[in-house]
Structures are given as structure tokens and as C-alpha cells.
Structure 1
Amino acid sequence: MNRTGRRWVAAFGLALMAGACGSGDTTGEGERASPIKRAPTPESEFTAKEIEATLDALVAEINEGAIEPMQMAILLKEIGGFFTPITTGANRAMGELGVTGNVVGPSGLGSDHQQRAEAQGEQIGQAVADGAEGIGVSPFGDAIAADIDEAVAGGVPVVTLDTDAKGSKRSIYVGTISESAGVTAGETLLALLPPAPGTVVIHGADDPSWVDGMNRMLGARRVLEDADYTVVVRPITWSPQGDVADVEAMKAHIETADPPVVGLLGLHNVSYRCAMATEAAGATDLPVVTFDFEPKTVEYMRQGLIQATHTQRQYYAGYLVPYILYGIKSIGLDATKAILAPRMFDESRLNVGLDVVPWDKVDEYIAFLDSIGVTQ
């Protein structure tokens, strides 16, 4: 996106934030004068039509009852970067609902995980004290489970997004389901591979302490091994020297694997390193499938060296949470879950899914993101 486009998105986000702070038009009894009406999402091949339909069904059910004011808080680990589309979606939803609320970033207290978790727990307590009737939070895992449970015990439902706190009493998790995402990625690459036998290099996680990373890798691995391919996992190097280390390791696999390497699959934001490895090995004819929409990933897609990438639907995660919180207040948790059932991965986790972007659809995908006012 060019500089003018970025300025437009920033201005658009501020306008959405301002709209989210009001409580909408009300009658003398405190009820809103008009039913909830969602702004239409621009039509595109990347529009999440199944999520749109589920939201429309939820709004229709809510509109059958009384439309009442509500105060909520959306607490995120960050405001910029990966969380920018989440912020945009949440602000848009709160503006449409006419609720009182804000999207809030970290308090800035502490630098390590535990300190940030403690600060976030304090934010939850403050939101309850300030009158929040529902809280959405991207938690620092189960480190804030007790704070979530305390809010729930006080009658304030909590919905998690992007990351989960499975050990807490949160009502619903909204976001990418790691095991499902891995399966989707494996299937995308599988469609591009020659018949087995062959070796596939997965650039991903193999550390059991990173549960989401492991689940994503295991989902992809299962798809490929079930199709009789040999799978080699190159663990991601998370350091400034990662490009060199990972590229050299994957280049070695390409040059020496038996059976020969027939494709590469990257499962995280630095997965453009798979394309770098094929260049280094002089094997740019190998199919490469990646994750996320980093500038380097887009560059390699435009060159045809990455055949497809998978992007997480952060905007939809942010957009869904205020509607879910309002649904819980208006029609109850069980009724809300029943309407969300088509998108529920299990009893308490809603899967926003992925956008699979082919190499020749980069411009169309960017145009879709522009149409909803977000960067990816």
C-alpha cells in the first residue's frame, strides 16, 4: 500500500474509534431507537461469506428482542502490527452496535511475559471496575486465567481472541485454530505436488512448549504423511541470523534428501525463507507454500517463487468479538453459541479460518484489504 493509502487507513481507523465511543441513539427508557444494522462488507472472492452469514443470523436474533446500551472493553497485546486489522474490526463492530467502549493496548508495564500478563490482569480488573459488561481480550495465555475467572464470577463474560486462555472460564475463543490451519496449509501444498514418493520440507515449530506452533506443524505433517510423502521439519530460527541459518539448512535438504525434495511448506511469518532456499539451491521449480503476508512473501509471490500463502483473518476476529459479547448480553451464551455453530471448531472455539491467496491473486487480495480499510 502506498503512503497515501496508509494515511487513508489511519484516518479511517480514527473515525471508527470515535464512532465506537458513543452509545447510539436511545429512547427515553434507555433503549436504542433503531435495530442493529451492519454495514455491508464489500464483495470479493476473499469476503468470508460464511462468517458474514453467521453474523447476519446473530444480528437478526438480537433484533428480535430489546436493543439496550452496553459497555465493553477490548484489551489487546498490541495495537499496531499484526493487531492493526483486529483493532479496525473491533472498532467498526462497536460503532455499528452503538456500544460504549474502546480498544486498549498494553499498559506498558513490564517487559517480560509474566510482567505483561500481570499488567493485563490489572487491566481486566479495571475494566470491570469501570462498568464493562463484557470483555474481549487477547490474553497472555493461562497466566491471566484467574483474572478472567474473577471477572466472570462478577457477571462479566469474557471472550478471548487471537490467543486463548483454555484454563479459564472464558466463554468463547475467536481466532485461528492451529491444527485446522496446519491441515489447510498441508492440503494447499498437496495439490501442487507430484505423486509420491518424495520429501517435503516443513519450515515450522518442533518445540512442544509452543503448543499452537506444534499443533500447526502436526496438522500439516499429518496431511502430507497420510499422502505417503516423507516429511522433514526445519525448526524456525528466531534470531537476526535466522535467514542465513534456515536457508542453509533447507538448501542442504534440497540437495541431499532421499527421496528428493518435491516441495516446501512454511508455517509462520518468516516462511519466505523457503523461497530463499530454493533460490540458493538453484531449484526454483519446486512448489513453495507459505503463511502470512509479509512484504518479502509478497515479493516472492510476485516473482512466482511462492505459489500460495495463507493469511489469518485478524479483521474478522476483531469484528466478531463485540457482536459475540453483545449477543451474550442480549440473548444469552447458549443461544449465541447455537447461532455461531457453523463456525465453531468445538464447544468453545470459533474458527475464523484462513484466506488462501494464490501467487497470481496478490493484487486482488490487497484490493480487498483496502476495501475494508486494513493492512495485513
Structure 2
Amino acid sequence: MSNRNWNQTLFIVFIIFACLLLQFLFTTLRIRELVRPLTSNSGENTSRHVVLISQELDNPYWRSIEQGAREASKQYGINMEYLGPFRINPAEQTKLLEKAIAAKADAVLVQGINDLNYRALIDKAADRGIPVITVDTDEPGSRRLSYVGTNNWEAGTNMGELVVQAAGKRGSIGVLVGNEQADNQRLRLAGFQSVINQYPELTIADVRSSNISRLQAARQAEEILSSHPQVGFMVGFSALDGVGIMEAVSHVKQREVSIFAFDDLAETKEGIRHCSIASTLVQQPYQMGYDAVSLIHGYFQGKNPETAQHFTPTSVLNRQKLTNGTGSNCQ
């Protein structure tokens, strides 16, 4: 073969080799581009797993907490799991907390239930590096990271001031609490008593528990009204108490009773519209859920909560506010 032909052959081989090299390079770059999104997605799939354990799964109040928690979880890329008993059951809440710890959740949001075993489980979670935030009701004495919810003492004093304003510093009051053992109920009652006790002619005739049941609220309220005919004011410190008291009052003929409720259930607001309920103190469950997840996100980023208690606001809802100022307050 002549030198000229040999050179041409080498040149062709070089061109072929260069083309193959370029093709390999382009293929490698393309594979990297395809793999990059998969790597990113795998990071999302291994996002933090936070468990929210409610008091009652389909309770509207706890569904509002869930909505706030989900909104914050979506914002921070957190995988949130919502659990709870179908009916109020502290033993079931305890089991769900045990399971969350065993499953090595990255964080747990729970309602305090004022129970020594429950407190021990919260401490166990802390020992295992699982931060716990109490929502709605605190678990005092535990190693929870923070409490997120209403300042219940202050809510009780606010309720006391509403009754004082309506009663003119004189009268007899019947009181319902949702659960005598619950920390939030005890604090509300204590705050309320601290205000009422300042007025010697304003007295609390009776305090009973509704066990967070509308039926029990109605029954207990009717017994208070029957046993204490002088009672002209009734206060309920859990969401179902107001509508239960309203039902009891409807059974007492020729009796005028001013009702002060808690939270803004649809029936409570309807009672306010029809002047059956004077006013209600409204909590912010959505904000509780949102803020609890936000605190957990900050903790994941190395920021401890600034305070051991993160209070969400309350507001007073009466007929004037409910009707946007078009209706006067009930007389």
C-alpha cells in the first residue's frame, strides 16, 4: 500500500474514533442530566417523617389542626402522618405514641393527657432523639420540646371578664369543664376563678364535668339549673359545652340564663345568631398545627424553640362580630 493510501486510512480511522469519542461524551452528559432529577427525588422521598396524633380522628377541631400542620409540612417538604382514635380514648393515644416511637418517627406532635405513663413515653422519645411537641393541651413535667396552643389561664381570665361585664359584678354561675383531669381545662377554670373571686357578690354555684360529650353537657347543665335555681349564668370550657347548655336551658321554663361558650362550632355560632348564647371564646387550631410543624422544622435546622410555651391567640365572638356589625349584641 502506498504512503498516500495509508495516510488516508489513518485519517478515516481517526475521524471514526473521534466521532465515537464525541458520541460517548454526549451520552455520558445525557445520562447525568437524566440521573440528576432522580437524585433530587430520592432526597424528597427520604424527607423527615412527622406524626401528628389527635385526640379524636374526625373531630372538626383536630381536623383544623391537621390542615394547618399539612400546610406547613408542604411548605417545608416534610412528610406528615395524621393518626388518632375514632372516639376519644387516652389509652389509644398512648398506643399510637408508642408505635410512632417504635417506627422511629423524626418527630411527634401530641395532645397532653396528664398521665404518668404518657409522660414517660414522651421522655423515652426524647432519649431516642425524637422531639415531641404538645399541641392544644400540654403535658407538664415531661421533656417535650415545646407546647403550642392557647394560653389557657389567660383564656379563663378572659372568660371571667366577659361574665363580670354581663353580670354587673353580681350573680350566680354554673360551670362545665370538658375533663377535670385535663391540664387545659384546669387552667381555664383556675383563671376564671381568679377573676370571679374578686367580686364577693358574684359566686360559682357548681362546677361539673361534661366528659367532652354534648349529651353529658346537657345533662350536667340541667342538673345545675335544677339544683341551683338562682343560677343566671352558665359557662362551658370545652367545645361541646355551649350547645349542651343551650339544650338544657331550653328545657327550663321561664328561666333566663346567659351562656358563655368555647370555640366556634357551627351550632355555637347559630346559637349566638339567635341570642341563645351570649358569646364564645374562639381558639386558633389551624394556627396551632401550622406553628407546631414550623417549630419542628426549625429544630431540624438546628434552632431550638425560643420559649417552652408557644401561645396562639384567642378572640371573642359575639352577635355583633358574627353579623359584621349589622346586628346588635343580645340584651
Cα offset, 1:349, TM superposition: 1.7
1:267 equivalenced with 2:237 (yes/no): yes
1:359 maps to 2:330: no
Indicate yes or no: 2:191 matched with 1:219.
Answer: yes
Indicate if the aligned counterparts of 1:189 and 1:288 stay in contact, CA closer than 8 A: no
Secondary structure, counterpart of 2:254 in structure 1: coil
3-state SS in 2 of match to 1:174: strand
Deviations 1:310-351 (A, max 9, x none): 122111110101110111222421xx31xxxxxxxxx51222
**Alpha-carbon distance change, 210 to 79 in structure 1, aligned in 2, over 3 angstroms:** closer
User: In the TM superposition, what are the counterparts of 1:16-165 in structure 2 within 5 Å?
Assistant: 71-77=48-54, 78-81=56-59, 82-99=61-78, 101-106=79-84, 113-128=90-105, 132=106, 134-142=107-115, 143-165=117-139
Deviations 1:97-120 (A, max 9, x none): 223x12321378x99533541332
In structure 2, what is the Cα distance between the partners aligned to 1:291 and 1:112?
A: 22
What is the deviation of 1:85? 0.2
Structure 1 residues without counterparts, runs of 5 or longer: 1-24, 33-68, 338-346, 365-376
Alignment of 1:196-211 (within 5 A): 196=169, 198-205=170-177, 209-211=181-183
Describe how 1:160-171 pairs up with structure 2 within 5 A: 160-171=134-145
Counterpart Cα distance in 1 of 2:129 and 2:75: 24
**Count of residue pairs the alignment pairs up:** 279
Q: Residues 26 and 352 from structure 1, CA distance in 2 versus in 1: closer, same or farther, beyond 3 angstroms?
A: farther
Percent identity among equivalent residues? Answer: 21
Which protein has greater RCO, CA pairs closer than 8 Å, 6+ apart? 1
Q: Distance in 2 between matches of 1:111 and 1:193?
A: 35
Classify 1:185/1:159 alpha carbon distance in 2 versus 1 (closer, same or farther; 3 Å): same
Report the 3-state secondary structure (helix = DSSP H, G, I; strand = E; otherwise coil) of the residue aligned with 2:173: strand
The one-letter amino acid paired with 1:103 is E
Deviations 1:2-33 (A, max 9, x none): xxxxxxxxxxxxxxxxxxxxxxx9998x999x
TM normalised by structure 1 equals 0.64
Q: Which residue type is aligned with residue 312 of structure 2? A: V
**3-state SS of paired residue (2:242):** coil
Compared CA separation, residues 246 and 168, structure 1 to 2 (3 A) = same
Change (3 A) 1:321 1:115: closer
Tell me by how many angstroms 1:206 deviates: 9.9
Alpha-carbon distance change, 321 to 298 in structure 1, aligned in 2, over 3 angstroms? same
Q: CA deviation at 1:358?
A: 1.0
Match of 2:284 in 1: 313
Tell me the residue number matched to 1:297: 268
Residue aligning to 2:22: none
Deviation at 1:94, TM superposition (A): 1.0
Q: Read off the aligned partner of 1:217 and give its amino acid letter.
A: L
> 2:272–2:279: 8 Å Cα contact kept in structure 1?
yes
Does residue 250 (structure 1) correspond to residue 225 (structure 2)? The answer is yes
1:349 alignment partner in structure 2? 309
**Displacement of 1:220:** 0.9
Indicate the larger mover: 321-330 or 233-242: 233-242
Letter in structure 2 aligned against 1:126: A
- Amino acid aligned to 1:271: G
CA contact (8 A) 1:234 1:250 kept: no
Find the aligned partners of 1:356 and 1:84 in 2 and give their Cα distance: 22
| Runs of 4+ deviating beyond 6 Å | 25-28
1:335-346 to structure 2, matched below 5 A, reads 336-337=305-306
Q: CA deviation at 1:277?
A: 5.0
C-alpha separation between the residues in 1 aligned to 2:121 and 2:264? 34
Residue identity matched to 1:186:
G
Q: Which amino acid aligns with 1:221?
A: Q
Q: Which has the larger radius of gyration?
A: 2
Q: Which has the larger displacement, 164-173 or 274-283?
A: 274-283
Evaluate the alpha carbon distance shift between residue 357 and residue 137 of structure 1 in structure 2; reply closer, same or farther with a 3 A threshold. Answer: same
Q: CA RMSD in A?
A: 3.4
Q: Which residue of 2 aligns with 1:230?
A: 203
Q: Contact 1:264–1:288 at 8 Å: present in 2 too?
A: yes
Provide the residue aligned with 1:372 in structure 2.
none
Secondary structure of the structure 2 residue equivalent to 1:201: strand
For residue 180 of structure 1, the aligned residue among 136, 154, 159 is 154
Please give the secondary structure, in 2, of the residue aligned with 1:233. strand
Shift of 1:274: 3.7
1:287 equivalent to 2:258? Answer yes
Matched with 1:35 is none
User: Alpha carbons of 1:27 and 1:308: their partners in 2 closer, same or farther (altered >3 Å)?
Assistant: farther
Unaligned runs of 5+ in 2: 1-36, 325-331
